[in-house]
Amino acid sequence: MKQPVFTGAGVAIITPMNPDGSVNYTEFGRIVDDQIANGTDAIVVCGTTGESATLTHEEHVDCIRFVVKHVAGRVPVIAGTGSNDTQFAVQISKQAEEAGADALLLVTPYYNKTSQAGLIAHYTAVAKAVSLPCILYNVPSRTGVNIAPQTLAELAKLPNINAVKEASGNISQVAEIAALCGDSLNIYSGNDDQIVPLLALGAKGVISVLSNVAPQYTHDLCARWFEGKTEESLAMQLKALPLCHALFADVNPIPVKWAMNRLGWQAGPLRLPLVEPSAAVQQRLETELEAFGLLKK
């Protein structure tokens, strides 16, 4: 059995920006502290929600170093180091390991994509270049390639291929992964509206966008499940659905960054090509944040 990197809710944390678009490290530290104070079980830095696609290489590594130093061992830090260039993924994964990250999150190669054999070769190269646990990230809606369950079963033979973040939305596929891989691969939900269904299939938790705005709630939703309070966990999942859907009413992280600004955090602007949400999406977010009790009337 492979020990999970964390159990519960890991936040796919935003990267706050200054008005000029540079990284706001002061606010970054405040957000990290608030997350940990409110039960977040892990910090996932420089993922999709952290706008990793528009961070420079130097900013990417600096953000990882900053979060590792600021967290100071309080919870695991998982660094997003995936790329569609295997050599670059190896390079930045080594830098994340040197920076003190506890694990890596590795998205499937995007745009150029690859075959299932190519996925095995790509992930094997990265995993063998580092000693850290690796969480593979399957999000075909963004990357255009799906990691087949049989491919995951093959990759799970590598000792430091620890888990998959499953964001395909395909519950049947997740069930097949669980059946094929068993204890050789941990599973995390990559979709906030499917936390409980994946926990029911043996998942160890979620890597969550919702946790940015509701860290304690998302932690508690998972904790209730593991305490055996499955009906409470399900009720929390269902209550959160409208907010989860509002947070994906536009391309992630457009809605969640707007929501963080609305809640009083200095999340700052988005980097192009991402732009502010439409008035309709803003109103939807306003409505759901208020209904969830995060905004006072």
Contact 108, 137 (CB under 8 A): yes
pLDDT digits (tens, 9 = 90+) for 105-161: 999 999 999 999 999 999 999 999 999 999 999 999 999 999 999 999 999 999 999
pTM over 0.85: yes
Instruction: Delineate the domains of the chain, giving CATH numbers in brackets.
Output: 8-227 (3.20.20.70)
At residue 280, the pLDDT reads 98
> Could you tell me which residues come within 8 angstroms of residue 22 by beta carbon, excluding any fewer than 6 positions away?
none
List residues with catalytic annotation: 137, 165
Sign of the C-alpha dihedral computed for residues 166, 262, 264 and 57 taken in this order: positive
Average pLDDT, the chain: 98
Question: In this model, does residue 169 exceed pLDDT 90?
Answer: yes
Average pLDDT over residues 217-237: 98
Sign of the C-alpha dihedral computed for residues 55, 61, 67 and 73 taken in this order: positive
Nearest Cα neighbor of 205 from 5, 9, 66 is: 9
Backbone φ, ψ for residue 45 (5° rounding):
-105, 145
Average pLDDT over residues 164-173: 98
What distance in Å separates the CA atoms of residue 53 and residue 183, rounded to the nearest whole number? 32
3 state DSSP class of 89: helix
